Amino acid sequence: MALCRGSKFFGANCSTLRIRQYGGRIFKTTGDGAFVEFNSAVEAVKSSIDIQEALAARNAALPDDRKILLRIGISLGDAIVQGGDLYGNVVNVASRMEGLAEPGGICVSGNVHEHMGRSLDVEFEDLGEQSVKNIVQPVRCYRVRLEPGGAAGTIPSDIDDTAAALPDRLAVAVLPFENLSGDAEQEYFADGLTEDIITALSIWRSFPVIARNSTFAYKGQSPDIREVGKALGARYVLEGSVRKPGNRVRVTAQLIDAETGHHVWAERYDRELEDIFAVQDELTQGIAAVVAPEVDRAENKRLTVARPQDLGAWDHVLQGIKFLDDFSETSTRRARDSFERAIALDPQYGRAYAGLAFTYHRDIMLGFGASRDEALVKLAENARRGVQLDGADFFSHWELAIGHLMAGEHDLGLSEAFRSLELNPSNAHGYTMVGLAHLLSGKAEEAIDYIQKGVRLNPQDTRLQMTVAYMGRAHFTARRYDQAREWTQRAIQRNPDIPEFHLVLAATLGHLGDTEHARESLEACKRLRPSYLNESANWFWYKHETDNEHFRDGLRKAGWEG
């Protein structure tokens, strides 16, 4: 475990998103500081440099009394978790490294420096062995050499790597949000929100996002969006404004097609400013949660008139995901063909393997294909390949989670679901997956909390029928049958062609004593797929046998003879 200790840590909201982007987890806050845990020392250093660069860029436009200077120390080792605290030598060393760092700087322990090797193009200055408080032996310390302005040399960027592999797609640019408050003190809020949205959109990894240094060149201007698109190579431009009347803030955001100048999406957000950084986090997450899917939808419209020979790997992946919006076997086959074409064009494109895994997930869920076991193997193989090629892609971890849950490996499924959500906390479907993993583990209340967050994050998503269905099943698991019936019927209204929805409704009505309608739900399963009721191995089963028996009992009351 790599452990970062940073002081004045929450002085800049952008830090949280940059931690998540590199797989970090805030374990504990201490006054004006925090401990952050990483699985990789390389990712800890990358995240720390990214944070310091972002702060340096923000501080450049601020007077000295408003600048935020952060010290970061990094150590590597094992820690003991006891209650809500961390113990061990790694904790002490990280704290001492932080104390040795200059304001705005980073210091790492000797074992971190040794572990790094040549993983990053970053220079270190050897500060020698340091005698530090509460540690008997001197500790070797290295300072990360940050150039003026915060740059530390060339750091390999996961986002840039993805863009290089897919050169035909155009990017998204986020222009600095305009401060309409008439108060220069609010300038930092508008700039911080812009920076955080850039980071949050980059985490989606679906498209390149133009770097802050390029887009902030337009700060204070009212440029022609079409000219911005041409200059930056951006197909879509997100712009917005911030107005602060009293203790409230109003943020407007609009996504524009830079080729036509037409609006793709627009929204207004009104919030109370009780905690300015919490509001900034909420707005960032909410805007990113909607903008990224809107870009995908706009691109899908563009692809409907494109010639197949003109499509690149990214286009085929986007097309495949669109095919999966239709739950038919024909659309599933067309989606598989699209993902396979993407892999043929770019065998190193992790997202394409995740999409291919999704088609086998769909086969299992709806009973397509001859062999569930074979489909489960292919699902897991392709999801793992996606993770291997791009470990920071939330979609690959999302599919690996579903594979584990379908295989009855609930703990692994929950772990992968959490990993997917950590990598992209703006993805509404990530909350649904964590909710599904909880409900299959018998934790219905936790499931409901996560699924509700997914619905709130992007309520206009047309693909929420599975989320609605899982909410119904979560209430069923909690023995709240009236709510289960309501949510499951809503799922059926959205898509009446999924046998699983009717199955859950049958079990629910069975427990409610509504035998007549419960039997009708079983008949609906048979009409959709005659063999479904005999294919119980395909169903989602619970971790605990008491929950499985509760489900079977409801089906028996409905007339099932399994």
DSSP-derived letter for residue 118 is T
Per-residue pLDDT tens for 70-88? 889 999 887 776 665 667 7
In a 10 Å sphere around its CB, with 0-12 CB exposed, 13-18 middle and 19+ buried, how is residue 532 labelled? buried
The three-class DSSP label of residue 73 is: strand
Q: What is the pLDDT of residue 1?
A: 53
- Indicate if 298 and 369 belong to the same structural domain: no
Answer whether 197's CB lies under 8 Å from 174's CB. Answer: yes
Tell me: pLDDT of 157 over 50.
no
Average pLDDT of every residue of the chain: 84
**Residue for token digits 């990993």?**
419
The sign of the torsion formed by the CA atoms of 255, 242, 192, 455 equals: negative
Answer whether 394's CB lies under 8 Å from 203's CB. Answer: yes
Tell me: pLDDT of 310 over 70.
no
- The span from the CA of 80 to the CA of 85, in Å, is 8
Least confident of 1-5, 269-273, 411-415: 1-5
Tell me: pLDDT of 166 over 60.
no
- Indicate if 410 and 314 belong to the same structural domain: yes
- Indicate if 281 and 169 belong to the same structural domain: yes
Q: Which residue has the higher pLDDT, 7 or 439?
A: 439
Mean pLDDT, range 97-111, rounded to an integer: 89
Mean pLDDT, range 235-264, rounded to an integer: 91
Q: What is the pLDDT of residue 18?
A: 67
- The span from the CA of 351 to the CA of 353, in Å, is 5
Tell me: pLDDT of 164 over 50.
no
- Indicate if 316 and 299 belong to the same structural domain: no
Per-residue pLDDT tens for 277-290? 888 889 999 999 99
Per-residue pLDDT tens for 417-431? 999 998 898 899 999
The dihedrals phi and psi of 345, each to the nearest 5 degrees, come to -75, -35
Tell me: pLDDT of 409 over 60.
yes
Mean pLDDT, range 513-538, rounded to an integer: 88
Name the token pair of 236: 């879509």
Q: What is the pLDDT of residue 168?
A: 43
Mean pLDDT, range 188-208, rounded to an integer: 87
Q: What is the pLDDT of residue 306?
A: 57
Mean pLDDT, range 508-515, rounded to an integer: 96
Last residue of a domain, one of 303, 322, 337: 303
Identify residue 213 by its one-letter amino acid code: N
3-state helix/strand/coil string of 294-350: HHHHHHHHHHCCCCHHHCCHHHHHHHHHHHCCCCCHHHHHHHHHHHHHHHHHCCCCH
- Establish if 405 belongs to a structural domain: yes
Percentage of residues in the chain with pLDDT exceeding 70?
A: 86
Residue 250's domain is classified under what CATH number?
Answer: 3.40.50.10610
In a 10 Å sphere around its CB, with 0-12 CB exposed, 13-18 middle and 19+ buried, how is residue 559 labelled? middle
Q: What domain range includes position 23? A: 2-144
Answer whether 212's CB lies under 8 Å from 226's CB. Answer: no
- Indicate if 414 and 489 belong to the same structural domain: no
- Indicate if 208 and 324 belong to the same structural domain: no
- Indicate if 31 and 137 belong to the same structural domain: yes
Q: Look at the chain and report how many structural domains it folds into.
A: 4
Residue 506's domain is classified under what CATH number?
Answer: 1.25.40.10
Instruction: Name the pTM for this structure.
Output: 0.68
User: Residue 139 forms beta bridges with which residues?
Assistant: 130
**Residue for token digits 């206009």?**
460
For residue 539, give the nearest of 515, 509, 511, 562 by alpha carbon: 562
- The span from the CA of 22 to the CA of 25, in Å, is 9
